[in-house]
Structure 1
Amino acid sequence: MTRRDFLGFFLLGGLLGLLGKKISGKKINAGKEQKGKEAMFWRKADEA
C-alpha cells in the first residue's frame, strides 16, 4: 500500500465519519422536536 492509497482511505474515512455524525445529529434533534410536539399536544388535549 502506497502513501497515496493510505491518504485516500484516510480522507474517505474522515468524510464518512463526518457524514455519520451529521446524520446521527439530525436524528437526535428530530427526536427531541418530536417529543416537544407530543408534549404540546398533550397540554392542549388536557386544556380542552
Structure 2
Amino acid sequence: MFSGRQAQEEQVTFSFSSLRAVSSIDHYTMANRADGSFLKYLPPK
C-alpha cells in the first residue's frame, strides 16, 4: 500500500467520480499504482 494513499485518493476521486460507476474497484487499485498515470492507465471502456 502507498503511504500517501489517502492524499492520492482525493486526487483520483474527482477523476474516478464518474469512472467508479462504470469501473470496478480492481481498476481503481491498478490506477493508484500508476501514481499520476492513472488517467492513461484507465481502460477506454
Q: Provide the TM-score with structure 1 as the length reference.
A: 0.26
